[in-house]
């Protein structure tokens, strides 16, 4: 068994997840890159990281909207190098969910892809993390405190992850630490969820005058996973100061 820490990052093929993987890998961790549909992006990221350090990145596909998919993902991660030292619950679903337009399938898509995935991945990873003295980092959203109109189900799912973080921190102590990162506006979605005017308005509201990216989240995640031995149950905002600004 390798002595190098192994971190599983869910939703890691693209965007913020890929940034997380790059930062954790650059700081000496071996990474398991989970994806659902972005196989080409996951393979490209694995090749990029393994070119820097051979056999240091692994990929796996799973649907984390089901408990079975979560169990399979954790089992595959453990099977790679026989250990698991950290779990980053980053996988997320994000679409508008305006009141009056949400049906049961829409609700399930957002709750399952966010809250359910984080819970069941944590549950199945817990035995291995207890053994390694590892840690969990959940990725939530500052919009749980400052909601955007039209995203009520997504906001509820992410608020559930905040409560889950605190509950698991108590339940898994003293062997496993559980914390969360609450990002503000990050690398824009690759669709038209936010139009140009909305993007300009959001950026103008951020004191540090830019949106965040995977590097910003990755550095905080590494701290919580590897350097924060006396920190658990906390939610750290990484939002460029947006939470300080007037509504």
166 contacts 233 by C-beta, under 8 angstroms: yes
- What span, in angstroms and rounded, lies between the C-alpha atoms of 245 and 241? 7
- What span, in angstroms and rounded, lies between the C-alpha atoms of 200 and 210? 10
C-alpha 86: how far from chain center: 12
8-state DSSP, 4: S
Other CB atoms within 10 A of residue 82 CB: 10
Residue with tokens 């799973």: 62
97 contacts 43 by C-beta, under 8 angstroms: no
8-state DSSP, 222: H
Contacts for 65 with CB less than 8 Å, ≥ 6 apart: 108, 109, 112, 113, 116, 117
Characterise 195 by phi-psi region: left (phi > 0), alpha (psi -120 to 50), beta (else).
beta
Catalytic residue among 35, 109, 124, 154: 154
Residue 35 known to be catalytic? no
Identify the bridge partners of residue 58 per DSSP, sorted by sequence position: 32
8-state DSSP, 97: B
Active site residues: 154
């Amino acid at each position: 068994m390798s002595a190098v820490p192994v971190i599983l990052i869910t939703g890691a093929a693209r965007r913020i997840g890929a940034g997380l993987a790059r930062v954790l890998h650059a700081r000496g961790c071996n990474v398991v890159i989970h994806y659902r549909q972005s196989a080409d992006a996951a393979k490209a990221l694995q090749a990029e990281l393994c070119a820097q350090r051979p056999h240091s990145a692994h990929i796996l596909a799973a649907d984390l909207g089901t408990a079975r998919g979560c169990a399979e993902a954790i089992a595959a991660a453990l099977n790679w190098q026989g250990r698991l030292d950290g779990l980053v619950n980053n996988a997320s679903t994000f679409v508008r969910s305006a009141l009056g337009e949400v049906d049961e399938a829409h609700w399930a898509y957002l709750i399952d892809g966010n809250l359910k995935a984080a819970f069941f991945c944590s549950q199945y990873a817990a035995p291995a993390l207890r053994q390694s003295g590892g840690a969990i980092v959940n990725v939530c959203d500052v919009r749980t405190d400052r909601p955007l109109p039209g995203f009520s189900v997504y906001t509820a799912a992410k608020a559930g992850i905040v409560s889950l973080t605190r509950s698991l921190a108590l339940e898994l102590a003293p062997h496993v630490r559980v914390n969360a990162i609450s990002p503000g506006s990050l690398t824009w979605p690759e669709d038209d969820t936010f139009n140009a005017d909305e993007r300009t308005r959001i950026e103008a509201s951020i004191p540090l005058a830019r949106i965040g990216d995977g590097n910003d989240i990755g550095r905080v995640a590494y701290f919580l996973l590897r350097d924060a031995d006396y920190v658990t149950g906390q939610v750290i905002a990484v939002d460029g100061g947006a939470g300080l600004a007037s509504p």
